[in-house]
Amino acid sequence: MSLEKSDVEKIAHLARLAVSEEELDSVAGDLSNILQLVERMNAVDTSGVTPMAHPLHMVQRLREDVVTEVDQRDYFQSIAPAVEQGLYLVPKVIE
Amino acid sequence: MHNLSIVELSAGLHSGEFSSIELTRLFLERIGRYDERLNSFITVTEASALGEAEAADQRIRAGEAGPLTGIPIAHKDIFCTSGIRTSCGSRMLNNFIAPYHATVVSRLKAAGAVMLGKTNMDEFAMGSSNETSFYGPAHNPWDEGLVPGGSSGGSAAAVAARICAAATGTDTGGSIRQPAALCGLTGLKPTYGRVSRYGMIAFASSLDQAGSLTRSAQDAATMLQVMAGFDPRDSTSADEPVPDYTAALGQDLRGLKIGLPKEYFGEGLDREVGQSVASAIEEYRKLGAETVEISLPNTELAVPTYYVVAPAECSSNLARFDGVRFGYRCEDPKDLEDLYKRSRGEGFGAEVKRRILIGTYALSAGYYDAYYLKAQQIRQLISDDFNKAFAQVDVIMGPTSPTTAFALGEKADDPVTMYLSDIYTIAVNLAGLPAMSIPVAPVAGRPVGLQIIGNYFQEGRLLSVAHQLQQVTDWHRAAPDGFKA
C-alpha cells in the first residue's frame, strides 16, 4: 500500500496533527515503507484464528462503587496552560 | 565503591563502612564529571537525593532498613515523579510536573532507594537508539560514537558508566533488553502485569512493562522484589504472589532444558555476535543444562505485527496530549482545531508523529480488519508458538540484538531498518512473557547480550539461570575504560 500526500492529509486530520506542506512528501514515503513492512502479515492465512487483544486473557476487575479519590481540581489545574474559575480555557468554540 | 553491586553497597551501608550521604555524593560527583559526555540524565535531583540519603542513613541507624535503603538509583523519565519534571523525552512534556508518583517510584522510595534523577530516553519510548529524544541522544559509554540502544538508553548508559547503581526502564518491544545488550548490562523485562503501570506514561498499553537495568542478576532480583506486586490502580496488574527472588537465585541448572529457536540463529544475525552467544550457551551445557533445537515459526511476522499493534495503541493513548489540560500548547491558536493540531504537531517529534499516523490509519474506517484484526490474529499465532515451545523446554535462549551497538546517525533516517533491529525482542512483548538480557563475550570491544526468555511469571527461574552463569563467568563485571576511575 502506497500513500499519497492527500492520504497523509486525511490521516493527519483524523489524528489532529499538523503536518506541514514541506513534510508531506517525506511523511508519505516513510508511512508507505512502514505499511509495506506491515503487509508481510498477508503471507499467513489467519482464517479462524481468534484475535488476541491481551497477553493474560484477563477480565476487567470490578470494585465497590465508592468514592476512592478526593477532589484535587485546583492542584491538577495548576499545571494547565490556561484556566479561569476552575475551567480550562480554549479558543472560542461557539460564535 | 562505584563498582560495587547493590548487595555489596548495602552491606557497606549496614556495617557503617560508608553512609548513604557519602555514596550519594560520590554518584552525584560522577554524574557531574561524566554526564556531559553521555547525556544520560534529563534531570538531576541533587537536593532531594541528599535529603533521601540522610533519611536512609537514619533508617539504617534505627535498624529499619531493607536491601535497597540508601542505594542511589535513577528512574527512566517515563515514570511520573510528584514535584519533579517528567518529560518522557518529549517537547510535549518539557514543562510537565506530575501531580503524583508512579507506583514503581513510590515502591522504590518506600524501600529507601535514593533517586539521583531522571534518565534520557527515546521520545515516548518510541525508538531503539535514544536518538528520538527531544533532549538529544544519550551516548554509549563503551564508545561515545555509538548509540546506547533504546528506548531506555539513558538508564543503560548511566548504569554502564557507574554513575548510578541501578536504574528503572520500560520495555514495550525490547526497550530494556536491547539497551542492556548494547551497554553490557543485565536487563529484566518481567511478565506483562507483574510490575504496575500506574504513573508510567503509556505508549502501547497491552505491551508496556516496567523493569530494571542493573550490573548483575542478583541486583535485578533485589530491584524486582520491591517493584513487583499487585496494584489496584493498574487495571491490568497481575494479582499473583511475589516469590522471594533472591532466595531463588541458587537453583541448580542440572537438567535445565534450554530451547534454541532456529529462527533466532539464521540470516540477519551478525556472525561474531552469533559465536559469542553460542559460547555462552556452551557454558550452560558445562553447568549441566541440556539444549534442544526448537522452532518459533512466526518469528518473521513479529515486527510487522508489532508495527500495527503498538502504533494503534499509541495513537489512542497519545490522544490525551491536546494542549488543553497539561503539557505543550502552541502560541496564538486561531481556533480549537488549530490549538489541537499545532500543539501536537509542534510538541511531538518525527518518530512519534509517524507512529500516531500509522496507528490512526490502521484503525480508520475500512482498514481495521486488514490491519488491526489481522495483527491480533498473528499475535495469537506468535503466542501459540511460545506455548508449544514451553511445553518442551524450561527457558529459551538466543541473541538479544542481531548486531552490537551501531553508530549514532547510522539508522536514524531509515525507520524500517531501525524497526528490524528489534527482531528478537518484540515477539516476547506480543506474548507478554518475561525475558532478560545478560552480557556475554564482547565483539571488537562492543558488548553482546544473551537473551533468556521464560514462561509466564517465571522471573525467579530466569534470574537464577542468569545468576548461575554470572557465578562462573566475568562478562558482567567488565566496565567501560573511560569510566573506571
Task: Give the span between the Cα atoms of B111 and B105, in whole angstroms.
Answer: 10
Average pLDDT over residues A62-71: 90
> Which residues of B are known catalytic residues?
76, 151, 175
Q: Residues B178, B401: contact at Cβ < 8 Å? A: yes
pLDDT tens, residue by residue, B33-88: 999 999 999 999 999 999 999 999 999 999 999 999 999 999 999 999 999 999 99
Residues of B within 8 A of A3 (CB-CB) are 361
**Does the model's ipTM exceed the 0.90 cut?**
yes
CA B189 from chain center: how many Å?
A: 7
Question: Is A83 part of the contact surface with chain B (CB cutoff 8 Å)?
Answer: no
Average pLDDT over residues B384-390: 98
Amino acid at B202: A
- The reply to whether residue A34 touches residue B354, judged by beta carbons under 8 angstroms, is yes
CA B60 from chain center: how many Å?
A: 30
At residue B429 the predicted structure's pLDDT band, cuts being 50, 70 and 90, is very high
SS3 content of chain B, % helix, strand, coil (to 5): 45, 15, 40
Residue B222 pLDDT: 98
| Beta-strand pair B435-443/B446-453 | antiparallel
At residue B485 the predicted structure's pLDDT band, cuts being 50, 70 and 90, is confident
Question: Is A66 part of the contact surface with chain B (CB cutoff 8 Å)?
Answer: no
Q: Residues B454, B435: contact at Cβ < 8 Å? A: yes
The single residue listed with the C-alpha cell 475551567 is A87
Range of the structural domain that residue A35 is part of: 5-43
Question: Is A59 part of the contact surface with chain B (CB cutoff 8 Å)?
Answer: no
pLDDT at A93 exceeding the cut of 90: no
Residue A63 pLDDT: 86
Candidate from A18, A31, A58 with C-beta closest to B358: A31
Percent of chain B surpassing pLDDT 70: 100
Residue B387: other Cβ atoms inside 10 A:
12
- Rg of chain B, C-alpha, whole Å: 21
| Beta-strand pair B41-44/B114-119 | antiparallel
Task: At B130, give phi and psi (nearest 5°).
Answer: 65, 10
At residue B401 the predicted structure's pLDDT band, cuts being 50, 70 and 90, is very high
At residue A69 the predicted structure's pLDDT band, cuts being 50, 70 and 90, is confident
Residue B386 pLDDT: 98
Tell me how many residue pairs between chain A and chain B have CB atoms under 8 A apart.
167
Task: Give the span between the Cα atoms of B292 and B261, in whole angstroms.
Answer: 9
Residue A56 belongs to some domain of the structure: no
For chain B, which residues make up each domain, given as ranges? Answer: 6-258+392-479, 302-376
| Beta-strand pair B166-170/B72-76 | parallel
Residue A91: other Cβ atoms inside 10 A:
12
Query: How many separate domains does chain A show?
Result: 1
Q: How far is CA B69 from CA A15, B36, B135, B356, in A?
A: 45, 28, 31, 41
Question: What is the chain A residue with the closest CA to B204?
Answer: A54
- The reply to whether residue B192 touches residue A37, judged by beta carbons under 8 angstroms, is no
Q: Quick one: cell of B212?
A: 530494571
Q: Residues B134, B328: contact at Cβ < 8 Å? A: no
pLDDT tens, residue by residue, B218-232: 999 999 999 999 999
Residue A16 belongs to some domain of the structure: yes
Question: Nearest-CA neighbor of B35 among B151, B81, B439, B43?
Answer: B43
pLDDT tens, residue by residue, B82-134: 999 999 999 999 999 999 999 999 999 999 999 999 999 999 999 999 999 99
Q: What is the pTM of this model?
A: 0.97
Task: Give the span between the Cα atoms of B150 and B178, in whole angstroms.
Answer: 7
Residue B42 pLDDT: 98
Q: Quick one: cell of B10?
A: 548495602
Candidate from B336, B344, B377 with C-beta closest to A49: B377
Amino acid at B463: L
- The DSSP result for B10-62, as a single string, is HHHHHHTSS-HHHHHHHHHHHHHHHHHHH--EEEE-HHHHHHHHHHHHHHHHT
Query: In terms of C-beta density within 10 A (0-12 exposed, 13-18 middle, 19 or more buried), how is residue B50 classed?
Result: middle
- The reply to whether residue B360 touches residue A14, judged by beta carbons under 8 angstroms, is yes
Residue A91 belongs to some domain of the structure: no
H or E, element range at A5: helix A5-14
Residue B67 pLDDT: 97
Residue A54 pLDDT: 85
Task: Give the span between the Cα atoms of A53 and B67, in whole angstroms.
Answer: 38
pLDDT tens, residue by residue, B273-324: 999 999 999 999 999 999 999 999 999 999 999 999 999 999 999 999 999 9
Query: In terms of C-beta density within 10 A (0-12 exposed, 13-18 middle, 19 or more buried), how is residue B279 classed?
Result: middle
- The reply to whether residue B377 touches residue A46, judged by beta carbons under 8 angstroms, is yes
User: Is omega for the bond preceding A47 within 30 degrees of 0, making it cis?
Assistant: no
Residue A58 pLDDT: 72
Question: Nearest-CA neighbor of B50 among B79, B19, B76, B81?
Answer: B19
Q: HSE on the CB side for B9, CA within 13 Å?
A: 32
The single residue listed with the C-alpha cell 545468576 is B467
What is the residue-averaged pLDDT of chain B?
97
User: What's the CATH number for B6-258+392-479?
Assistant: 3.90.1300.10
Task: At B84, give phi and psi (nearest 5°).
Answer: -125, 135
Q: Residues B421, B401: contact at Cβ < 8 Å? A: yes
Task: Give the span between the Cα atoms of B452 and B188, in whole angstroms.
Answer: 10
Residues of B within 8 A of A92 (CB-CB) are 335
- The reply to whether residue B358 touches residue A56, judged by beta carbons under 8 angstroms, is no
Q: Residues B446, B484: contact at Cβ < 8 Å? A: no
**∠ Cα B36 B30 B467 (to 5°):** 110
Candidate from A33, A46, A53 with C-beta closest to B206: A53
- Measured in angstroms, the CA of A21 and the nearest CA of chain B are apart by 12
Question: Is A85 part of the contact surface with chain B (CB cutoff 8 Å)?
Answer: no
Q: Residues B116, B73: contact at Cβ < 8 Å? A: yes
Whichever domain contains A33, its CATH number is: 1.10.20
Residue A77 belongs to some domain of the structure: no
